[in-house]
Structure 1
């Protein structure tokens, strides 16, 4: 990939795509063309780890943690917008920007290692989720299902590599539509109690396990690899080589306005689907034995709400695994290239994160518990991506006139402090302090 200029763009430097006939697109088409990167990054908020965390939270604690889903989604909006802004204004991803700022080779490698471990935890969740879905739908053994999920996600990455960012977006957005249908259908068939949902908006916990699940939900909602990926997706889509010659009418400010809409649409979809998963479990699986696992939830949905709801749930889980593992692998490759400045073949890169997931499946570890623990790992990786993102987007020497307003930076600091504090409380409780 050619090295990009790290200087902030001027207001008229952002590109606009040409229509197939070589003419500038019409305003409506032009606006639609600007959407997409956030929808791809937003798939990270609908991966199998989200499904396991939200389903388990609803089955064990009913509506108690509704507020965590809503809060996580609100913080995710700010975080994903800042990530996209960094990529649009500088033309560089977060990983590239961080890689350039480390003075020591060893400190850069150490930072890469924690980010790589986060990417591996991400792949564990996504591959296991796809494998469980194939087992539920077709009886495919879990290790083989994991290999199939990895192979299909690799094919999606080949589309991105050979056909470009837009084609990759079409594939992922198509899977996103399937995910949304699969996970929301049951709530419309059997709606939850509105009063109980409202009561769940009151922030509170009930013991160590509820804190663990809250951290898991946040780790699944605000995913570190999505922070890295969104800046790279925005960079890839809005680089100068995609511009129509002589047409620079879309400035950076307009791109950022469109990005706010893009992020809003993506997070409304992701937040609604995540909430529906928790509400479905809270309304129909709470207190039912075995429903704190994906296969148990599937069986209970089949018994209580019918084959259609259960099958669509499994189809949504499969689409979730396929889409999110492709985006996760894209983020992992960007992390390695940006921080270590090395590029390895696609197949080798996939094996780095695919092998641990297959090994866990072959070892017979409970898939649902592995998913939840992977989300806790992700939760601990959040500050290493989020704190630098907030700091970089607040700097005038990085974003120039597009740097954060003071209240945006303050909101980012509050979100970072909250997540770090939650992880500290979680450690204290798990290690025996509570």
Structure 2
């Protein structure tokens, strides 16, 4: 563990090297963010609007880093899981709402991500996707329940690094227009681009990433003494690695793909005849790595929150947590049997996450500005957090309006009711904070 509160000024080269070796928790969050749902949004954006939405891609990395920074502060300064902190400072009902919010979002994502992992594996090997679904579920159960969090962290760091390298390499293979890319950094929203822009932002600022962060830091034993390390961890994973990943995918899609109907897998396949087999295989390898790392990171989210709420341990030393972890891993196998085109399913995953995220941001902001932590939150971080809440809330409201306008069916109706319930909870939480501020 790295302790930087020794009175020294700045971070020297030796300290930086130790930091790089110690980093990890935010890379697990980054492994979820850098997943097939985000990739689908990036490919759609590039293939549909050329370079015009590059500014949104860059903004998503900044927003994702800010959300993780706020979650990091809460976890470090309380040295507890977020559910336990919510239960102590807001009550049991609020804690259950947060658990339900995160578990529903992560559960829907788990099935669809497994479908994507199985589809990519089948494309690369020719073996039936359903077989791959069972294989990957067993591998998750054995790896995570057997070796615990540290296994996932090492796996995520290695795989995310490899994925970033693969996509950067593919970006060098395709012909990118630097002038058009530079113009894409100027904010604009072409007609029909609002939904895909929301998808890009939703992949970086997501309830699963926010709620899991206190638990991954606890698994490493980090405390307030590791504040500098934790901050660097967020910047390196979300701002740098995730940012490079997103920009590289977007540039590849904007440069050579022009079919808005392309999916994650078909986009990789389409690169072969366009710019050569090397680009195709680099893209497929990157896609496969991103999907696998996301599946592993997402698996630990429901067990973390449920175990914390039930008063269990959140490491494999507690057999109940280990059993819960194995159960979630094995329960992902049916995702490979869903079949069908994954693009629409991935959009639904982002939509459910977008609906659930504003409430999680509101919870974190409330706790950081109430009596849950000893240090005041920097004003700029508060302003950024409020902006994240407003943007994610607007995206969620827009999605719900579209669902109602299109006619509510069983699935969309369930998502709409889920969103309305969380919107009411967010308003009640804001009102609670306002009343408390007036009374002090």
Which TM bucket (shorter chain)?
A: 0.7 to 0.9
Task: Please list every run of 5 or more consecutive structure 2 residues that lacks an aligned counterpart in the other structure.
Answer: 5-13, 314-318, 407-440
Maintained 8 Å contact 1:154/1:347: no
Q: Which position in structure 2 is the counterpart of 1:170?
A: 154
Maintained 8 Å contact 2:142/2:326: no
| Number of corresponding residues | 391
- Are residues 1:304 and 2:288 paired? no
Specify the SS of the correspondent of 1:398. Answer: coil
1:312 is displaced (CA, Å) by 1.9
Q: Which position in structure 2 is the counterpart of 1:283?
A: 255
In the alignment, the residues of structure 2 paired with residue 345 and residue 138 of structure 1 have an alpha-carbon distance, to the nearest angstrom, of 36
Q: Which position in structure 2 is the counterpart of 1:337?
A: 307
In the alignment, the residues of structure 2 paired with residue 116 and residue 347 of structure 1 have an alpha-carbon distance, to the nearest angstrom, of 17
1:417 is displaced (CA, Å) by 0.8
Specify the SS of the correspondent of 2:33. Answer: helix
Say which of 3, 25, 35 aligns to 1:37.
Answer: 25
- Are residues 1:420 and 2:393 paired? yes
Say which of 72, 88, 99 aligns to 2:60.
Answer: 72
Maintained 8 Å contact 1:159/1:167: no
In the alignment, the residues of structure 1 paired with residue 227 and residue 305 of structure 2 have an alpha-carbon distance, to the nearest angstrom, of 24
- Are residues 1:204 and 2:188 paired? yes
1:283 is displaced (CA, Å) by 0.8
Say which of 320, 323, 338 aligns to 2:290.
Answer: 320
Q: RMSD across aligned C-alpha pairs, in angstroms? A: 2.8
Maintained 8 Å contact 1:183/1:273: yes
In the alignment, the residues of structure 2 paired with residue 350 and residue 279 of structure 1 have an alpha-carbon distance, to the nearest angstrom, of 37
Maintained 8 Å contact 1:133/1:317: yes
1:104 is displaced (CA, Å) by 4.5
1:50 is displaced (CA, Å) by 1.4
1:275 is displaced (CA, Å) by 1.4
1:120 is displaced (CA, Å) by 0.9
Change (3 A) 1:104 1:35: closer
Q: Which position in structure 1 is the counterpart of 2:213?
A: 230
In the alignment, the residues of structure 1 paired with residue 341 and residue 19 of structure 2 have an alpha-carbon distance, to the nearest angstrom, of 45
Change (3 A) 1:362 1:66: same
Maintained 8 Å contact 1:156/1:326: no
Q: Which position in structure 2 is the counterpart of 1:3?
A: none
Pairs within 5 Å for 1:49-60: 49-60=37-48
Bigger mean CA deviation after superposition, 210-219 or 411-420: 210-219
Change (3 A) 1:262 1:110: closer
Task: Please list every run of 5 or more consecutive structure 1 residues that lacks an aligned counterpart in the other structure.
Answer: 1-12, 17-25, 240-251
In the alignment, the residues of structure 1 paired with residue 26 and residue 383 of structure 2 have an alpha-carbon distance, to the nearest angstrom, of 23
1:351 is displaced (CA, Å) by 7.2
Maintained 8 Å contact 1:121/1:378: no
In the alignment, the residues of structure 1 paired with residue 236 and residue 78 of structure 2 have an alpha-carbon distance, to the nearest angstrom, of 24
Bigger mean CA deviation after superposition, 90-99 or 262-271: 90-99
- Are residues 1:391 and 2:366 paired? yes
1:121 is displaced (CA, Å) by 2.5
TM-score for both structures, normalised by structure 2 = 0.80
Change (3 A) 1:28 1:187: closer
